[in-house]
A = this chain, B = another copy of it.
């Protein structure tokens, strides 16, 4: 597989793939901003409230940078995000945390799995877009924050562990089911990710290994908290 260059953006199919990836990411960041602020409002400590608000503000800044890149590529940001709204909204509706710890698990396990997936996709885009995607996917400390709070919660009350393990499985299950919907409906994004003979994208074996990598990383994260994935 040869890497993509800026010139490849002249190819309308490739360009649509890049726009689709940016659109999915941008919508995801915007929704994250709102859900993290809602979580923050539930935080037991004023200090945590502020820390989470700061994380949310980072997501919003990422959203604005993605929108800027979409405009640079001549795409309409609203139109580019629209195809992913249903899947992302549905995921959030089906995984509404009912407690502070469930909200943190959503950050720790849910957002991270999405991040891992987007990072795999970013291999196939042009260098400028890739640099931007890598930057917006960079962890701004929220995973570590969620992890230490979760570890504290589990240490304080051992019954919490079982419930959180179950909740983690639900987060991932719902994410996979929405990812399948997107894969089935969004040809632009799958064309970017899967090799149709153009020499770009994953072949079937590589695609299976991608899913294995993402699943293994998730399992390792859950085990780091002493939970079964």
Contacts and interface: CB of A to CB of B under 8 A. Distances in A.
Interface of A: 30, 33-34, 37-38, 40-41, 46-47, 49-50, 53-54, 56-57, 60-61, 63-64, 78
Contacts of A60: 53-54, 57
14 contacts: A33-B37, A33-B53, A34-B40, A34-B41, A34-B53, A37-B37, A37-B38, A37-B56, A47-B78, A53-B60, A54-B60, A57-B57, A57-B60, A57-B61
Given A37-B37, A57-B61, 18 more contacts: A30-B49, A30-B50, A30-B53, A33-B37, A33-B53, A34-B37, A34-B40, A34-B41, A34-B53, A37-B38, A37-B56, A47-B78, A50-B63, A53-B60, A54-B60, A54-B64, A57-B57, A57-B60
A137 to B, nearest CB: 20
Chain A interface, DSSP helix/strand/loop, else mixed: helix
Most buried by B among A40, A49, A53: A53
Most buried by B among A30, A41, A54, A57: A57
Nearest to A47: B78
Nearest to A35: B41
A60 B38 CA distance: 15
Contacts of A40: 34
A37 B53 CA distance: 11
A54 B40 CA distance: 18
A38 B39 CA distance: 12
Contacts of A64: 54
Contacts of A33: 37, 53
